Structure 1
Amino acid sequence: MSNFKLPLLLILLLNISTIMGQQISDYQWKNRLVVLLTDSQDSQMYQLQLKDLKTDLQGLKERKILVITLTPNYQITGIDNGIEQKAVLNFKKLKKETDGFEVILVGLDGYVKLQQSKLLTHQELFAQIDRMPMRRDEIKKN
């Protein structure tokens, strides 16, 4: 794992105080997180990302993906197969770019697997996850 991922993981774990009133540790090993960081929920990139993720809610469910949106003024919403989620995150500490949009994938183990400032299609997201050893084990068991 690269050196920047560990500090980002620690920041993420320290700054997520609750999701639906639970501790982040309650989701580790149970859910993968996709955190959408956007300066505005009106941004075109954010809207495209959210629309794309919502096209395959079954795929999100199969892969245990919880989607959270975070804006600078702490308006936090999300989708987990259509159910709204709430979290407390530190936008400025998580965001690498100075403006625009970013997406972060956190694996079941709590480590950051991907962080990018371009659209991540659900096909790319699923392919990334499906290559992970834990996901391959989930597929074998099913």
Structure 2
Amino acid sequence: MEEKKRSQSLQFYEVEMGEGVTLPFAEEGIFAGFPSPAQDDRLESIDLNRELIRHPATTFLARIVGDSMIGANIYEGDIVVVDRALEVHNDDVVVCCVNGEFNIKFVERHGSEVYLVSANSAYPRMRVDPEDDFILWGVVTYVIHRPRRI
């Protein structure tokens, strides 16, 4: 069986905060039972920029290319919101650059050792060696994907 490539390509986008788009928002939640006609009267508005982006100057979006994070419900074509201002913790999903190749992985730190872990068993756990050109770009704070592929 051919070993899968350990990197994953990402397409990057800047965040434009301009004038926000407000959408109807059911503030009290959506109930999984039968909907009540009275719920239509309780719609508020929500600005997704304010909801999803805490640090506009250090936040960017990236489109996922590849399948190394499918076990974390991050699929090819999804858009991730990445905040570069956040401190990285163990088990965070991060965007990083290893030897010029961008990746999205879980990060594990054990003392001075850093490992990048996929959420797909087809990809091996990757140890970041001291001689690697390694940059942690930021922490993934949200994943935007369709529940049904069209």
TM-score, normalising length from structure 2?
Answer: 0.25
Going by fraction, where is helix more abundant, 1 or 2? 1
TM-score, normalising length from structure 1?
Answer: 0.26
Going by fraction, where is strand more abundant, 1 or 2? 2
The answer to which structure, 1 or 2, has the higher relative contact order (CA under 8 A, 6+ apart) is 1
Q: Which has the larger radius of gyration?
A: 2
